[in-house]
């Protein structure tokens, strides 16, 4: 589905609460191009369609970039510091690391000291603390990103209301900086096209430019931040540019979307998927400010 | 006096079950869209949007749909579309393909998209006929 909607990079998320056990180790494997191609005629069709519509010329189709991500929901500051204060064998097995603070103290801590890439919130419920600009801006300054998961807006009425209330609070407190938008989808049909999502978040107070950045560049920055975090202070790593930068121009990748087949996914509880990166869509839009990236996933 | 401006949204309905329901017509889409606007933006929002909103075209075969709405309200209309998850008890996703200021530009985008889709679909004879008709209707749409 992600492919069909035009995304060229997806992150599959595994959520753990409180403690990390051995079973939380990363078991996700990216699907091979062949598997993807075998996933069904719909996918193949989507790929062709995408290539036909979005790409002119005969550049070889690229692979869908797939990233694994761990989200840890934390309530106790001490435990959070222990787990996320430095390198940890289990967190190291994932590409991206996100923390979901469940209390004011962890929120503060996440913004100022924890070694993570993304701070995420449960958009479907009322947040148990107030989002204050101070810590959020400190987080943005440290290069962390704040995540808005739009799938809450697609579920029932209460979660939609909470989504809009939390999202506008977050946008307001962070002044639109450092926000990324992802699906948080539990199923493929909770994904939406990039333009749709951008429009949705502009209703929460982001400008169109910020909304676009939230779907494209900032997600790339998250990936880069993760690479740097993994490299540790001072160590020299060769960062593979194509992983991030490459998506910019011709970004369809050929991977189909049945990504999580039953096998890897079944083992994970509450798998959330989140699309990370976007690809510019080449259909001309009338409003120049609306050129977008899209993200999607399935 | 400034001209009243519209937006034309071309979008694709993606059905989870992939079934083709040839009984769907524009009025059904209009109804579900209206309900969604009412749910999300209330009576006031619905009233404002309905002033100019209209479903111009729907093709059940390629699932393309063109909706006209006032330019000032298109964000609300689009957001309501985004939040639609079921339609006649089937899971659906509405995916914006083109957002244009004139019907002509939407029509061009739709024709291009149609072609790309139909090329890769295997159709029965009846469907083939439908497809041709739909294509003609699209071409003949008054601008």
Give the model confidence (pLDDT) of A94-139 as tens digits.
777 888 888 888 888 888 877 788 888 888 888 888 888 888 888 8
- List % helix, strand, coil for chain B (3-state, nearest 5): 50, 25, 25
pLDDT digits (tens, 9 = 90+) for A239-259: 555 544 333 333 333 333 333
End-to-end CA distance of chain A: 4
- pLDDT of res. A145: 84
| Domains along the sequence of chain B with CATH | 6-140 (3.30.70.3250)
**pLDDT tier for residue A277 given thresholds of 50, 70 and 90:** very low
Q: Do B83 and A160 lie within an 8 Å CB cutoff?
A: yes
Is A39 or B124 the better-scoring residue by pLDDT?
Answer: B124
**pLDDT tier for residue B14 given thresholds of 50, 70 and 90:** confident
Q: Does the pLDDT value for residue A149 go beyond 50?
A: yes
Ranges A150-164, A219-233, A269-283, B22-36: which has the least confidence: A269-283
- pLDDT of res. A290: 33
Q: Does the pLDDT value for residue A262 go beyond 60?
A: no
Share of chain A above pLDDT 70, in %: 56
Q: Do A202 and B83 lie within an 8 Å CB cutoff?
A: no
Name the pTM for this structure. 0.70
- pLDDT of res. A264: 34
The C-alpha atoms of residue B14 and residue B20 are separated, in whole angstroms, by: 11
pLDDT digits (tens, 9 = 90+) for A197-211: 888 888 888 888 888
Is A165 or A55 the better-scoring residue by pLDDT?
Answer: A165
> How does the average pLDDT of chain B come out, rounded?
82
Number of H helices, E strands in chain A: 12, 7
Give me A45's structure tokens: 């069709």
Rounded to the nearest 10 degrees, what angle do helices B74-82 and A194-202 cross at?
120
Q: Does the pLDDT value for residue B1 go beyond 70?
A: yes
Asked whether the beta carbons of A106 and A74 are under 8 A apart, the reply is yes
Topology (CATH level 3) of domain A10-33+67-249+266-290? TIM Barrel (3.20.20)
The C-alpha atoms of residue A200 and residue A212 are separated, in whole angstroms, by: 11
Ranges A22-26, A143-147, B64-68: which has the least confidence: A22-26
**pLDDT tier for residue A24 given thresholds of 50, 70 and 90:** low
Mean per-residue pLDDT, B102-107: 85
- pLDDT of res. A29: 54
Residue of chain B minimizing CA distance to A159: B83
- pLDDT of res. A253: 33
- pLDDT of res. B122: 65
Q: Do B75 and A52 lie within an 8 Å CB cutoff?
A: no
What is the CB neighbour count within 10 angstroms for residue B93? 26
The C-alpha atoms of residue B71 and residue B56 are separated, in whole angstroms, by: 16
Strand order in the sheet with B54-59: B54-59, B64-70, B6-15, B90-100, B86-87
Give me A288's structure tokens: 């120049």
Q: Do B85 and A290 lie within an 8 Å CB cutoff?
A: no
Q: Do A203 and B75 lie within an 8 Å CB cutoff?
A: yes
End-to-end CA distance of chain B: 22
The C-alpha atoms of residue A146 and residue A131 are separated, in whole angstroms, by: 11
- pLDDT of res. A46: 53
> What dihedral angle (degrees, nearest 10) is formed by the CA atoms of B110, B115, B118, B119?
-160
Cβ–Cβ contact A200 with B under 8 A: yes
The C-alpha atoms of residue B46 and residue A88 are separated, in whole angstroms, by: 52
Distance from CA of A244 to the nearest CA of B (A): 25
Is B33 or A20 the better-scoring residue by pLDDT?
Answer: B33
Q: Which residues pair with B6 in a beta bridge?
A: B70
Q: What is the distance, to the nearest Å, from the Cα of residue B66 to the centroid of all Cα atoms in its chain?
A: 4
Domain ranges of chain A: 10-33+67-249+266-290
Distance from CA of B16 to the nearest CA of A (A): 7
**pLDDT tier for residue A272 given thresholds of 50, 70 and 90:** very low
Mean per-residue pLDDT, A262-269: 31
Is B64 or B134 the better-scoring residue by pLDDT?
Answer: B64
Running DSSP on this structure, what letter comes out for residue A85? S
Q: Do B105 and A45 lie within an 8 Å CB cutoff?
A: no
Asked whether the beta carbons of A180 and A150 are under 8 A apart, the reply is no
> How does the average pLDDT of chain A come out, rounded?
65
- pLDDT of res. A55: 40
Distance from CA of A190 to the nearest CA of B (A): 8
Share of chain A above pLDDT 90, in %: 0
Q: Does the pLDDT value for residue B73 go beyond 80?
A: yes
Strand order in the sheet with A9-17: A179-182, A145-149, A118-120, A96-101, A65-74, A9-17, A271-277
pLDDT digits (tens, 9 = 90+) for A165-189: 888 888 888 887 888 888 877 777 7
Asked whether the beta carbons of B77 and B34 are under 8 A apart, the reply is no
Q: Which of A285, A288, A298 to mutate to test the interface with B (most CBs of B within 10 A)?
A: A285
Per residue in A217-252, is it b (16+ CB within 10 Å) or e — as a string?
A: bbbbbbbbbbbebbeeeeeeeeeeeebbebbbebbb
Asked whether the beta carbons of A199 and B69 are under 8 A apart, the reply is no
Give me B110's structure tokens: 């739709």
All residues of chain B having their beta carbon less than 8 Å from the beta carbon of residue A153 are 82-83
Ranges A24-33, A230-239, A263-272, B15-24: which has the least confidence: A263-272
């Amino acid at each position: 589905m992600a492919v069909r909607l035009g995304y060229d990079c997806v992150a599959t998320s595994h959520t753990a609460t409180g403690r990390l056990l051995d079973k939380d180790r990363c078991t996700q494997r990216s699907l091979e191009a062949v598997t993807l191609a075998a996933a069904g005629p719909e996918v193949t069709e989507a790929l062709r369609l995408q290539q036909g519509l979005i790409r002119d010329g005969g550049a070889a189709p690229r692979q869908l970039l797939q990233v694994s991500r761990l989200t840890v929901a934390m309530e106790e500051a001490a435990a959070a510091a222990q787990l996320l204060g430095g390198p940890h064998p289990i967190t190291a097995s994932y590409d991206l690391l996100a923390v979901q603070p469940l209390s004011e103290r962890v929120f503060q801590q996440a913004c100022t000291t924890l070694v993570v890439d993304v701070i995420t919130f449960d958009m479907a419920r009322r947040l148990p603390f107030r989002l204050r600009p101070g810590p959020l801006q400190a987080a943005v300054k440290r290069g962390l990103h704040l995540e808005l998961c739009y799938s809450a807006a697609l579920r029932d009425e209460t979660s939609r209301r909470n989504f809009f209330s939390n999202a506008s609070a977050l946008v307001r407190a962070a002044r639109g900086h450092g926000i990324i938008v992802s699906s948080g989808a539990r199923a493929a049909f909770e994904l939406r096209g990039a333009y749709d999502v951008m429009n949705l978040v502009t209703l929460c107070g982001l400008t169109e430019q910020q909304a676009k950045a939230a779907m494209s560049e900032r997600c790339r920055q998250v990936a880069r931040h993760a690479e740097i975090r993994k490299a540790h202070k001072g160590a020299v790593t060769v960062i593979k540019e194509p992983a991030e930068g490459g998506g910019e121009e011709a970004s369809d990748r050929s991977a189909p979307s049945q990504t999580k087949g039953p096998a890897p996914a079944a083992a994970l509880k509450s798998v959330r998927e989140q699309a990370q990166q976007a690809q510019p869509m080449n259909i001309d839009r009338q409003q120049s400010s609306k050129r977008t990236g899209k993200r999607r996933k399935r | 006096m400034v001209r009243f401006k519209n937006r034309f949204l071309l979008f694709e309905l993606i059905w989870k079950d992939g079934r083709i329901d040839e009984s769907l017509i524009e009025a059904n889409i209009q109804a579900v869209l209206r309900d969604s606007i009412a749910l999300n933006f209330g009576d006031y929002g619905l009233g404002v949007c309905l002033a100019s909103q209209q479903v111009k075209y729907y093709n059940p075969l390629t699932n393309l749909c063109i909706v006209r709405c006032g330019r000032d309200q298109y964000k609300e209309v689009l957001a309501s579309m985004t939040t639609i998850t079921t339609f006649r008890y089937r899971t659906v996703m509405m995916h914006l393909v083109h957002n244009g200021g004139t019907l002509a530009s939407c029509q061009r985008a739709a024709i291009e998209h149609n072609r790309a889709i139909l090329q890769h679909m295997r159709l029965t004879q009846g469907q083939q006929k439908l497809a041709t008709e739909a294509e003609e209707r699209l071409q003949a749409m008054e601008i």
